[in-house]
A and B are shown apart, each in its own frame.
Chain A
Amino acid sequence: MARSITYREAINEAIAQEMARDERVIVMGEDNVGGTGAPGEMDAWGGVLGVTKGLWGKFPDRVMDTPISESAFVGAAIGAATGGLRPVVELMFIDFLGVCFDQIFNQAAKFRYMFGGKAVTPVVVRTMWGAGLRAAAQHSQSLLPWVTHVPGLKVAAPSNPYDAKGLLIQAIRDDDPVIFAEHKMLYDVAGEVPEESYTIPFGEANVVREGGDVTIVAIGRMVNTALEAATELASSGVEAEVIDPRTTSPLDLDTIIESVENTGRLVVVDESNPRCSLASDIAGLIAQEAFGALRGPIQMVTGPHTPVPFADSLEDLFIPDAARITGAVKTAVDWKK
């Protein structure tokens, strides 16, 4: 039965249900337990934003704290995955990819390929992404393009609690390494989530809203911003179809193509920096695969090519908002009208 829980609770529930179902599932990361035996441990359980709170109490032998050394503990999780466990490891911010990237892109992502399919690496790297938390340039980035670029990695970026639970269970059961990107501004968003376990297949986009005038593809938190824009557009007679790819790798290009064949216009919304972004990737793929269907120029709505600013006012300007999306839609729709 479905009830309303938050994105944070949905993630916690997915891990708890999979740990109960499969004893090979373990949880590793900084402050998950909180330094057992140390003063203040009760407050620290559950990672920096409390997502894994309560898991240690349920599964004391399978939730462990790690030192602040991502290269060591992400590597250890990948090693444990090759050895038969199914680790869910928390990389506190996606911005810390740099210190453990070799383990992820040059080791985990390559094993299945280089060992001719004889090795599997069922590791999930949970990590927080996105701007908006006033956390400055080193804790606010949207580095999904980095991991989406690497064959051998799967990348999920849920935009709501229902998808968060289903995609995370799928990630844990998947035999390939998965980067599970949690948008930090969505943790308190609530939505209907079944109590039972379920999986959402990777590579299946969600058509969040149907419309015949323009296709808006948006990722993570931007799905909600795109819906806000779509509501405004509807009042001026423009019906937008909003597509949430849910996973950036594999990407459900077919659903986007089918939609663009119907609408003739595409706007891609992505919080990343604009160059070599998810927006430019999807725009390029559609320009190649569905050029004949296009009735106006593809529009990309992204952050600017700068670090994420620390000043509140500038950070707010950095993040794409509904007004920028409606502006982009109007450019596409009004083209040579």
Chain B
Amino acid sequence: MPDERIQRVSMPKWGLSMTTGKIIEWFVSEGDTLAKGDDVVEIDTDKIAGTLESPVSGLVRRLVAEVGDELPIGAVLAVVAPAEVPDADIDTVVEEAKAAAAAGELDVPDEPVPQLVEVDGRQISYLTMTPDEPSGDPVVLVHGFGGDKNSWLFVQQPLAEERTVHALDLPGHGASAKDVGDGTLTMLAETVVGFFDALGIERAHLVGHSLGGAVSAAVAKAAPGRVASLTLLAPAGYTPDADAEYLRGFAAASSRRELKPLLGRLFADPALVTRQLVDDLLRYKRLDGVDKALSVLLPTLLDGDRQAIDTPALLDGVDVPVTVVWGAADAVLPPPDGVGERVQAGHMLHMEAANDVVRVLRSSL
């Protein structure tokens, strides 16, 4: 009979390709009292490091994993239980957890896999996560220029604890068709509306990052009844200012040497740009058709050295709640004064300050 007072904190799965995680730093010690949502441990996924927030509350009885350990998804990292549970029982749980990890018998939930759907003659790839009993309108996550559905690795799963959450690859991106037609904002917004139609989504909360933020605003403008709310993360088109050199450089870069320094500008902490992150982007950029897709999309973002999109104009007359969040240290699309909330991050705030972004989303949805 398992003691239900004993709770386990396990290795999370952040993103499609994560199979193991490496313990970088513990933020708690044995004997500390945890509240749900407290920072517990920093974990490196090979692509990027993230902070695990506690899924449970209680007294930390044992830290099972040590700094430097590389452990599979589902491996028990810490054991939380009230003080009255005897040490011997905790020891038993730890031994069982270690044996399970060694034998590869871990409690890993079924993984959703990306699906394909045809929208306007293009194959669109998307990943859906859904809880057993979804509540309210679903959420659709729209990535930015050069991004893909996997950029939501820290965000999609926590949101999917309550709602159905879809993350799609825009045309020209990820595993979607690389043909982007005329590459206009209208075409991208029509693709998102077509995606709603194809999946039978009546109405959804739209969350867009960067170019995806402007796309989301354009969807709300074009199809007002279909959007329950807009959450725009570092959206394109709020001011004319942009790091045009970054955008053009990203579109043109074909080697690690060109790409790596550019990617550093996306984060407040450039050390987050790992070898794997650069390699994944290079793998994307080498696919047939991506060069052309990015060069066709670039003028949608940029007019000379200035941003070509006017997002406030798109939002004019849009009658749904709009939440805007910026990374305070965004060097690519500098945040305008007095607009929206701030989190401590660069342009990739949903990767760099994922837990803060999730908190904002939980309150705005």
Partner of A255, one of B125, B257, B275: B257
B288 touches A197 (CB 8 A): yes
CB distance from B173 to the nearest CB of A (A): 12
Partner of B255, one of A197, A204, A209: A204
How many residues does chain B have at the interface if contact means C-beta atoms less than 8 Å apart?
15
A122 interface hit (Cβ, 8 Å): no
In whole angstroms, how far apart are the Cα atoms of A162 and B125 in the complex? Answer: 21
CB distance from A155 to the nearest CB of B (A): 19
B275 touches A210 (CB 8 A): yes
A198 touches B287 (CB 8 A): yes
In whole angstroms, how far apart are the Cα atoms of A255 and B257 in the complex? Answer: 8
In whole angstroms, how far apart are the Cα atoms of A100 and B256 in the complex? Answer: 37
A197 touches B287 (CB 8 A): yes
* A residues near B286, Cβ cutoff 8 Å: 166, 198-201
* A residues near B283, Cβ cutoff 8 Å: 162, 194, 198
CB distance from A145 to the nearest CB of B (A): 25
Query: What band does the interface of chain A fall in when counting residues whose beta carbon is under 8 Å from B?
Result: 10 to 19
Partner of B125, one of A1, A207, A210, A258: A1
Q: Which residue of A lies closest to B288 (CB)?
A: A197
> Taking A162-B283, A204-B255, A254-B257 as contacts, is the C-beta distance between A198 and B288 under 8 angstroms?
yes
A196 interface hit (Cβ, 8 Å): yes
Contact with B along A187-201 (1 / 0, CB 8 A): 000001010111111
In whole angstroms, how far apart are the Cα atoms of A196 and B275 in the complex? Answer: 23
Q: Which residue of A lies closest to B116 (CB)?
A: A1
B175 touches A1 (CB 8 A): yes
Contact with A along B263-298 (1 / 0, CB 8 A): 000000000000100010001001110000000000
* A residues near B255, Cβ cutoff 8 Å: 201, 204
* B residues near A254, Cβ cutoff 8 Å: 257
* B residues near A166, Cβ cutoff 8 Å: 286
* B residues near A200, Cβ cutoff 8 Å: 286
- Residue of B17, B114, B254, B288 with highest tally of chain A CB at under 10 A: B288
Which residues between 186 and 228 of chain A lie within 8 Å of chain B, taking CB atoms?
192, 194, 196-201, 204, 206-207, 209-210
* B residues near A194, Cβ cutoff 8 Å: 283, 287
Which residues between 211 and 266 of chain B lie within 8 Å of chain A, taking CB atoms?
254-257
In whole angstroms, how far apart are the Cα atoms of A245 and B257 in the complex? Answer: 14
In whole angstroms, how far apart are the Cα atoms of A312 and B215 in the complex? Answer: 63
In whole angstroms, how far apart are the Cα atoms of A258 and B279 in the complex? Answer: 18
* B residues near A196, Cβ cutoff 8 Å: 178, 287-288
Which residues between 148 and 200 of chain A lie within 8 Å of chain B, taking CB atoms?
162, 166, 192, 194, 196-200
In whole angstroms, how far apart are the Cα atoms of A254 and B255 in the complex? Answer: 12
In whole angstroms, how far apart are the Cα atoms of A200 and B287 in the complex? Answer: 9
CB distance from B112 to the nearest CB of A (A): 14
In whole angstroms, how far apart are the Cα atoms of A180 and B158 in the complex? Answer: 47
CB distance from B45 to the nearest CB of A (A): 16
Q: Which residue of B lies closest to A21 (CB)?
A: B288
Which residues between 285 and 325 of chain B lie within 8 Å of chain A, taking CB atoms?
286-288
B256 touches A207 (CB 8 A): yes
* A residues near B257, Cβ cutoff 8 Å: 254-255, 258
In whole angstroms, how far apart are the Cα atoms of A204 and B279 in the complex? Answer: 12
* B residues near A207, Cβ cutoff 8 Å: 256, 275
In whole angstroms, how far apart are the Cα atoms of A42 and B17 in the complex? Answer: 38
In whole angstroms, how far apart are the Cα atoms of A204 and B125 in the complex? Answer: 30
A1 touches B114 (CB 8 A): yes
CB distance from B99 to the nearest CB of A (A): 24
> Taking A1-B114, A1-B175, A207-B275 as contacts, is the C-beta distance between A201 and B254 under 8 angstroms?
yes
In whole angstroms, how far apart are the Cα atoms of A199 and B285 in the complex? Answer: 9
In whole angstroms, how far apart are the Cα atoms of A94 and B208 in the complex? Answer: 53
CB distance from B242 to the nearest CB of A (A): 28
Q: Which residues of A come within 8 Å of B, CB atoms?
A: 1, 162, 166, 192, 194, 196-201, 204, 206-207, 209-210, 254-255, 258
In the A-B complex, the 6 residue pairs with the smallest Cβ-Cβ separation, listed nearest first, are A198-B286, A197-B288, A198-B287, A1-B175, A210-B275, A196-B287
23 of the cross-chain contacts (CB-CB < 8 Å) are A1-B125, A1-B175, A162-B283, A192-B17, A196-B288, A197-B287, A197-B288, A198-B283, A198-B286, A198-B287, A198-B288, A199-B286, A200-B286, A201-B254, A201-B255, A201-B286, A207-B256, A207-B275, A209-B275, A210-B275, A254-B257, A255-B256, A258-B257
A198-B286, A201-B254 known, 16 other contacts, Cβ within 8 Å: A192-B17, A194-B287, A196-B178, A196-B287, A196-B288, A197-B288, A198-B283, A199-B286, A199-B288, A200-B286, A201-B255, A201-B286, A207-B275, A210-B275, A255-B256, A258-B257
